[in-house]
Structures are given as structure tokens and as C-alpha cells.
Structure 1
């Protein structure tokens, strides 16, 4: 492990210990290996159903050269209210930390939103139960990544999808996986299906990297054999 990564890991450990002591029962670990955590906020007295989960993933480059990846999970909060709350969190982060205070990051977010808007013009996709997405953009000059994800009500699915992009070292790509609920509860298997779907398209389109090789692999589909009639 490089010195910078070791320093980041120690700072993350210190920060996690501080946050867990502050939030106590409201703090939970979703995936320790992937550094995914959650702060659960609920008003048990007045509005017990109004639960908000702030999910945070700490990439290996955090806090030295990359921001944490966060997303809000609140099934009852939709549309402009959800967007406004997310924007408020981003403004707070920009004001306090300044890590994301660059035109590059803001341009990436704008492009992602435009792509999503274009995608949602498809009525079938727009009416999906969940549109889970993650993106990972490589900044050549700083050798860092701009990345984020969204569950769209499928708790932890966005973080797992982003983790897949990191494992595959997928770069400069936005992946959207749409799920339509068909009346059958899949349980934890739904994460496997979501990631398998994303992995297949990433490999087919050449965004995955072969293990042990530094170059991109673009896997071409085999041409079907011609069948001659007798």
C-alpha cells in the first residue's frame, strides 16, 4: 500500500470512529470492505415514516484527492424536493471542504443529468420501478476520479454498482440499470442481477479491463455460424 493510501485509510478510520460515536444508533455499516456507510435520520415521535438515509462511500483517494460519494435514500421524497436537498448537501460540501470546487466536477454533473434526461424520454425507462445508475470519470491531469451513484429507491444498489465500476476500473462511463417490479421479491439476489447486467454491457462495450493487463479490452461477439440446409 502506498504511503498516500495508507494515510487516507488512517484518516478514514479516525473519521468513521468519530461519526459512529456522534450518531450512535443512527450510524450503520453497509459494506465495510467497500467503505460504504449510512446515517439514518428518523423522527420517531411525529413522522416515523419519514426516514432519510444518507449513504456515504469513501473511495481510496479520500480525503487527499477525492470527495466522498454520497446519496440520499428517501422513498417518500421525490422530484424537486429531493433535488433541492441533494443540491443543499453539495453546496455545504463545496463551502466546507472545497475539494469539489472545480468546473470539471460541475460540468460532469451537468452532462450526467442531461444524459439521464434524454434517457428518461423513453417512457418504458421513465416508468421503471428503479433506475439505478453510477458513473466514473477519469481526470487525466490529476489522476483522480469523479464518481457518484444513485439508488432511486433500491437501497445500496447504486453503491454496489459504483463499486463494480471501480473493480473493473471502468472509466469515462455512465451505467444505468432499470428494474421493473414484476410481483416477485428477489431478496439479496437482486443485487447480483443488477451487477451482472451492468458487467455484461461494460465488457461488451469495451469498458472493462482484463485482470493483470493495463490495456482496455474490447471483446467482440462471435459471429454466428452459418447453418446450411440439407
Structure 2
């Protein structure tokens, strides 16, 4: 598991991105469970993720409506299969509107650039 912490900060909200090899919905749930063993990530407002598998795309918005699809689209463009990307957000008290999608995209790009 690779994690890039505190990569984006906007109006009090903070973002991190994590990822690693993953081949199924069950493995994705286990990955999230392992990530949330770290108290900081367990207390996050949203842990949104996307994963492309041979069986098809899998995502979870975790309350951040539409964020999983942003991650999936980027994984499709990269052709990255069997690798989960999780974007974590700690809500800072102010709504970000559409900027939240840009932050999810930028966090995912930062992670993909490390591969």
C-alpha cells in the first residue's frame, strides 16, 4: 500500500490518496479495512475509491457523490487494471462544490504519477 498524505488542502478540507494491487471487490473491501486501521483514515469523512478488474469496474463514493466515477475514468484512460486508488477527504467545514471533483482528479493524478 502506497499513501501520499496531505497532498491537497482547500478551505479546511484535506486530501490524501492511497493505492495498491487489488483484483476484486472483496480485495478492495479488505484494502479499505486495512487503510482504516490507521485511526486518521478511519476518522476521514470520505474514502472514495475506484478499481478496474477483468470482471468490470468497481467503485464506492462513500458519500462523496460522483467521486468514484472520476477515479474510474482516470484508471480507464491509464489502462490500469487490478490496482485500487482511494482518495481520502477530511471535511474542513466549508462546501467545495464542483472543486471537490477537481481535487479528486488531482489527487488521483498525483498517485498515478508515482507509478
TM-score range, shorter chain: 0.7 to 0.9
Q: Secondary structure of 1:171's partner?
A: coil
Q: Which residue, out of 27, 37, 42, partners 1:111?
A: 27
Equivalent pairs counted in the alignment come to 93
User: In the alignment, does 2:84 pair up with 1:174?
Assistant: yes
Q: Which fold has the larger relative contact order, with Cα–Cα distance below 8 Å and residues 6 or more apart in sequence? A: 2
Map of 2:16 onto structure 1: none
Deviations 1:14-44 (A, max 9, x none): xxxxxxxxxxxxxxxxxxxxxxxxxxxxxxx
Higher strand share: 2
**1:153-189, CA deviations, whole angstroms, 9 ceiling, x for partnerless residues?**
1111111211111122222210000001111221101
User: In structure 1, how many angstroms separate the alpha carbons of the residues matched to 2:49 and 2:25?
Assistant: 13
| TM superposition shift of 1:204 | 1.0
Q: CA deviation at 1:146?
A: 2.7
Q: Does 1:196 align with 2:106?
A: yes
Unaligned residue ranges in structure 1 (runs of 5+): 1-106, 140-144, 206-230
Give secondary structure in 2 for the equivalent of 1:136: strand
Query: What is the CA distance between 1:136 and its match in structure 2?
Result: 1.2
Task: State how far apart, in whole Å, the 1-side matches of 2:106 and 2:78 are.
Answer: 12
Give unmatched runs, 5+ long, in structure 2: 1-22
Partners in 2 of 1:112 and 1:156 — Cα distance?
18
Q: CA RMSD in A?
A: 1.5
Instruction: Flag as ranges the 4+ runs of structure 1 deviating above 4 A.
Output: none
- Larger Rg computed on CA atoms: 1
**1:123 paired to 2:69:** no
Alignment TM-score, normalising by the size of structure 2: 0.74
